[in-house]
Amino acid sequence: MRQALRAEWTKTRTVSGPLWLLLGTVALTVALSACACSVVSCGSAGCGDMTRLSLVGVQLGQAPVVVLAVLVVAGEYGTGMIRTTLTAMPRRATVLAVKAVTLTGIVAAAGTVAVLGSLASGRLLLPGRAFMAAPGHPPLSPTEGPTLRAALGSVLYLTLIALLSLGVATVVRDSAAGIGIVLGLLYLLPVVSATIGDPHWQRLLQRIGPMDAGLAVQATTDIHSLPIGPWPGLGVTAGWATAALLTGGLTLRIRDT
């Protein structure tokens, strides 16, 4: 297992694509968060959830994570490199596990940088938008319980999205199809939910969608009004990732023998 991990890590770090995608994750996450924090202002209804606003960039930063995770598997199928990989590591479960562990490590590292950068931008920009101690909104502090949970949960969310994408890519074996399926799950389900007039079905889609449910972990205020709680919501995303990986592992074992 150790040699397999070393081989996978070598493949990942010796090509430029993963590095640029990870940098893109950080840049897009921080940039969107900074933009959101720079234009918002308190209205008559109050200031809202300052932590969640600071982490809004995760919604965009997850896109490069999806591309990276899909290419980890589908890229090898596209070049034929998968034959060499499966010859070197005949145990299919080990192949997928090694890719999952390597992907988890690099996405968690980039996600941590992106989340901390987003919180830093919120701390710098939001006080100028009337988010300050006077109206009951002290500056953001990553060490506070709710903010710490939102930050940790956001990193876990990005990691789970990477694993979901890895599982889907293992099943479809095509980069374009894999990216399209995962991005559709993430971005189209919320759109469909918003267009549904029935509140029951709208709330149901928000509870089962991997993005809507998973990003509930970022909420620090009015949690009782959410369609699903922060940790249960992240559990829904984990369920999607687990199902995708199990399906991918089974497909890899049955088909690629």
Position of tokens 């074996």? 173
pLDDT in tens, 47-63: 678 899 999 999 999 99
- Which long-range contacts (C-beta less than 8 Å, at least 24 apart) are formed by 32-40? 32/56, 32/57, 32/59, 32/60, 32/61, 33/57, 33/117, 33/118, 33/121, 33/122, 34/118, 34/121, 34/125, 37/121, 37/122, 37/125, 37/126, 37/129, 38/125, 38/129, 39/129, 40/126, 40/129
Confidence of residue 143 (pLDDT cuts 50, 70, 90): low
Averaged over 35-47, what is the pLDDT? 72
Averaged over 178-187, what is the pLDDT? 96
| Percent of the chain surpassing pLDDT 70 | 89
Structure tokens at 25: 């994750």
Between 45 and 238, residue with greater pLDDT: 238
Q: Answer whether residue 233 shows pLDDT above 50.
A: yes
When the pLDDT of each residue in the chain is averaged and rounded to a whole number, the result is 87
| Percent of the chain surpassing pLDDT 90 | 59
pLDDT in tens, 67-125: 999 999 998 888 878 777 777 777 888 889 999 999 999 999 999 999 999 999 988 88
Would you state the pLDDT for residue 163?
Answer: 98
Q: Indicate whether this model's pTM tops 0.75.
A: yes
Averaged over 31-58, what is the pLDDT? 83
Domain ranges of the chain: 2-255
pLDDT in tens, 109-137: 999 999 999 999 988 888 765 555 444 45
Would you state the pLDDT for residue 81?
Answer: 80
Give the Cβ contact number of residue 143 at 10 Å: 7
Residue 65 CB burial class (10 angstroms; 0-12, 13-18, ≥19)? buried
d(CA 31, CA 170): 31
Q: Answer whether residue 199 shows pLDDT above 80.
A: yes
80 — alpha (psi -120 to 50), left (phi > 0) or beta? left
Asked if residues 254 and 176 have their Cβ atoms less than 8 Å apart, the reply is no
Structure tokens at 225: 């009004």
d(CA 248, CA 77): 14
Averaged over 221-246, what is the pLDDT? 94
Q: Rg of the chain over CA atoms, in angstroms?
A: 19
Would you state the pLDDT for residue 134?
Answer: 46
